[in-house]
Structure 1
Amino acid sequence: MPYRIASCSCGQLRAEVASQPLRVSVCHCLACQRRTGSVFGAQARFPRQAVTVSGDSTAFARVGDGGSRAVFHFCPRCGATVYYTMDGADDTVAIPVGAFADPGFPAPTFSVYEERMHRWVQMPDGIEHMA
């Protein structure tokens, strides 16, 4: 069973995971661009029971284009998002791929909101596309 640790920049907030990701995806929506400070967000979903969170977090809830709500948990000290939950996906936890600081992390297999993708970004061959 794989074991991974995601953490914020200062290390105070951590998510320990004892599972392979259920899905690794890339989101090009403008909200993810703003949240990450990058041109897209990359995240992995895990079974909730496989994730153990430690440390203090502050939460921010955002309602998406489709009306569903996501609650982002970030470190109150350094501001880095370590995990989030989504309405309708109560059995999963999403963790930004960068929080693992692991260049060997599995590549994304799913890409959404590509109509907002920066024109110079190219997704991996074989990735599933959803507008």
Structure 2
Amino acid sequence: MPDRVASCSCGQLKARVTGEPVRVSICHCLACQRRTGSVFGQQARFRREDVSLSGASSEYVRVGDEGSHSKFHFCPSCGSTVYYESEGMEEYLAIPVGAFADPSFPAPLVSVYEARMHSWVIPPPDAEHIP
């Protein structure tokens, strides 16, 4: 089982994971676009017990389009989000795939909020597509 380390830009906040993610997805919602500064967010979900956290984090709680809350943990020094917790899925932690800085990371198998997807974005054809 692979070990991977996700990190903020300055390296102070880290998440070490063991094993494969239970889900890798991309989200095209406007909140993820604003949070990432990109045209979508990509995250990997891991079982909480497979993640070891180190470093200090600040939190930001966001209410999603459907009313659920997500608590984003970011580095207080450089501002990079390293992991987040979603209401109703307490047994998991989600980690932005970019925090791993690993081009060999598995491709997303789910693409959500495609109604808000930029017209030039092409998700993997074998992914589950959710409008």
Superposed pair shares fold, TM > 0.5: yes
Residues matched between the structures, number: 131
Counterpart CA distance in 2 for 1:33 and 1:56 is: 25
- Which residue is equivalent to 1:101? 101
Q: TM-score, normalised by structure 2?
A: 0.99
Residue 61 of structure 1, CA deviation: 0.2
1:1-131 equivalences under 5 Å are 1-131=1-131
Residue 63 of structure 1, CA deviation: 0.6
State the AA in 2 paired with 1:69.
H
Partner of 2:31, secondary structure, is helix
Counterpart CA distance in 1 for 2:72 and 2:129 is: 24
- Which structure 2 residue ranges, 5 or more long, are not aligned? none
Identity of aligned residues (%): 65
Counterpart CA distance in 2 for 1:48 and 1:127 is: 24
Misfit runs of 4+, over 2 Å: none
Q: What is the CA deviation profile of residues 60-91 of structure 1, one whole-angstrom value per residue up to 9, with x for unaligned ones? A: 00010111100000000000000000000010
Partner of 1:31, secondary structure, is helix
Counterpart CA distance in 2 for 1:21 and 1:106 is: 9
Partner of 1:122, secondary structure, is coil
Counterpart CA distance in 1 for 2:130 and 2:70 is: 19
Q: What is the CA deviation profile of residues 102-123 of structure 1, one whole-angstrom value per residue up to 9, with x for unaligned ones? A: 0000000000000000001001
Residue 125 of structure 1, CA deviation: 1.4
Structural RMSD (CA): 0.5
Contact 1:19 1:47 in 2 (8 A): no
